[in-house]
Structure 1
């Protein structure tokens, strides 16, 4: 059984969804420290000048060193802030009129940021034809002593996986021999050959079928 384990990203690029395509189960890695300069709570969209600019999910400030992804909280006025920020991007400005299903997905924040991130990933994957079981790593109660690579191995073992699939950017993080000793094979996706714009922007501009085909073509070496 193949498992993909990855931090839940905010409307990531199409290549991220290859993890859903290549694995039997997807585990959202939310039991680790929240990376403030990463892609968990933000992504870049094209502004009216054709420049890529950050769009950030409005979060309450937490402790820089102890806040885990599963501990994130929304600002009190998060939805209004997000609505206002999207006006900077032509593709998103009229999303409620042009793509009602995507608008509902995008603006339905709920009460928990991590639930929102995982829900948007799961529903977008389904739109792309990638229906996979999805779980949060925080429900597994992995012991704090397991760090980095060992934490990934422990998660994989707990869900009954025999193979761990990771994005190509993680090659320097993991050791094949260590995984083998744990009874796991270690596989990496190839480098992505396609556009790196947010999946939301891609689906609106190019359509779900074209993006789905691009993802499938980028599964093979």
Structure 2
């Protein structure tokens, strides 16, 4: 069954986001919906000696009345030096520090003046390339602009049908927004991807889940991360409501 996911693009998102990318046949970056201030589009969490440490990519015009694709990054040398120091302070002893640092900084060094959506998609593509996994750049503003006037679920259904797919997959937060019946009425199977706990060594600190993929890559081989990407369940809305096991 061909599957689709549509998500706002996040900069170096967490493992569960990459599980979603890997779980579907078509991943669409939802770049023409409004920017979310203090959301995860331009910020994420890494570790600082076993505690959460937030990093935020500076942007211009980051209003919630502006589409994500119109919000421009405001990266400069000062921010890049500070972030580089932050990475080195926390991860210089990590087993895969050098290649992951180079991957991450390479993306940020080219991001000044870009739409934050382009930065986010570039970060996803770079990670998938590092993991030697396929990634196709699909932007909602480019491929599905004609659906922009549709409301929430109607637009996701239209995008799924335009890609000749029969399954739509969302992160768990969508269970409060989308109902099985409205998708089923259009011949689409709605599922939610639920990440299983996949703890890994973070030096000698207690495990912190849901950090940016940067943390995952610093501590694990690409092969180990590819294996982590398969550690999820696809559940129906009913499964989510009752805590039941996923259906095939």
TM-score of the two chains, using structure 1 as the length reference: 0.86
Distance 2:92 2:76 in 1: 17
The aligned runs of 1:81-96 (5 Å cut-off) are 81-89=79-87, 90-91=89-90
The aligned runs of 1:34-73 (5 Å cut-off) are 34-47=35-48, 49-62=49-62, 64-73=63-72
CA offset at residue 118 of structure 1?
0.5
Q: Within the alignment, does 1:201 sit opposite 2:201 as a pair?
A: no
Structure 2 residue aligned with 1:74: 73
Task: Give me the CA root mean square deviation.
Answer: 2.5
User: Residue 142 of structure 1 contacts residue 155 of structure 1 at CA under 8 Å; is this kept in 2?
Assistant: no
Q: 1:102 to 1:219 in 2, by over 3 A?
A: farther
Q: Within the alignment, does 1:155 sit opposite 2:156 as a pair?
A: no
Distance 2:182 2:218 in 1: 42
| Number of residue-to-residue matches in the alignment | 218
My pick for the range that moved more, 190-199 or 30-39, is 190-199
TM-score of the two chains, using structure 2 as the length reference: 0.78
CA offset at residue 37 of structure 1?
1.7
Q: Within the alignment, does 1:182 sit opposite 2:189 as a pair?
A: no
Deviations 1:1-41 (A, max 9, x none): 21111111111111111112211111001111111121110
Q: 1:65 to 1:108 in 2, by over 3 A?
A: closer
Structure 1 residue aligned with 2:206: none
Structure 1 residue aligned with 2:118: 115
Distance 2:7 2:50 in 1: 30
Residue number among 100, 104, 123 corresponding to 2:106 in the alignment = 104
Q: 1:192 to 1:39 in 2, by over 3 A?
A: farther
Distance 1:219 1:14 in 2: 14
Distance 1:129 1:219 in 2: 23
User: Residue 33 of structure 1 contacts residue 68 of structure 1 at CA under 8 Å; is this kept in 2?
Assistant: yes
Unaligned runs of 5+ in 2: 199-208, 235-245
Residue number among 130, 133, 137 corresponding to 2:133 in the alignment = 130
Q: Is the partner of 2:211 in helix, strand or coil? A: coil
Distance 1:61 1:85 in 2: 22
User: Residue 103 of structure 2 contacts residue 126 of structure 2 at CA under 8 Å; is this kept in 1?
Assistant: no
